[in-house]
Amino acid sequence: MHCVAPRKALFTQTRHLLIEKPNLKNWMIPILLAACLLLYAYSLPRDPLREPVELPSGPVSLENNRTVPYDKPAPAPPKLNPAPTFGGYPCSGNCRDDRAGYRWAARNGITDADSCTGNTGSFIEGCRVYARRRAAD
The verdict on residue 75 lying in a domain is no
67-85: average pLDDT? 75
Which residues are within 8 A (CB) of 117 and not within 5 positions of it... i.e. 6 or more apart? 124, 127
Summarised one tens digit per residue, pLDDT across range 88-105 is: 888 877 889 999 999 999
Summarised one tens digit per residue, pLDDT across range 38-54 is: 888 777 777 777 777 78
The verdict on residue 100 lying in a domain is yes
Q: Quick one: which of 137, 127, 84, 133 has its CA closest to 102?
A: 127
What does the DSSP 8-state code read for residue 24? T
pLDDT at 98: 92
pLDDT at 22: 59
Summarised one tens digit per residue, pLDDT across range 114-137 is: 989 889 888 999 999 999 988 877
Distance CA 85, CA 108 (A): 23
* Number of domains within the chain: 1
Domain span holding position 92: 85-136
The verdict on residue 109 lying in a domain is yes
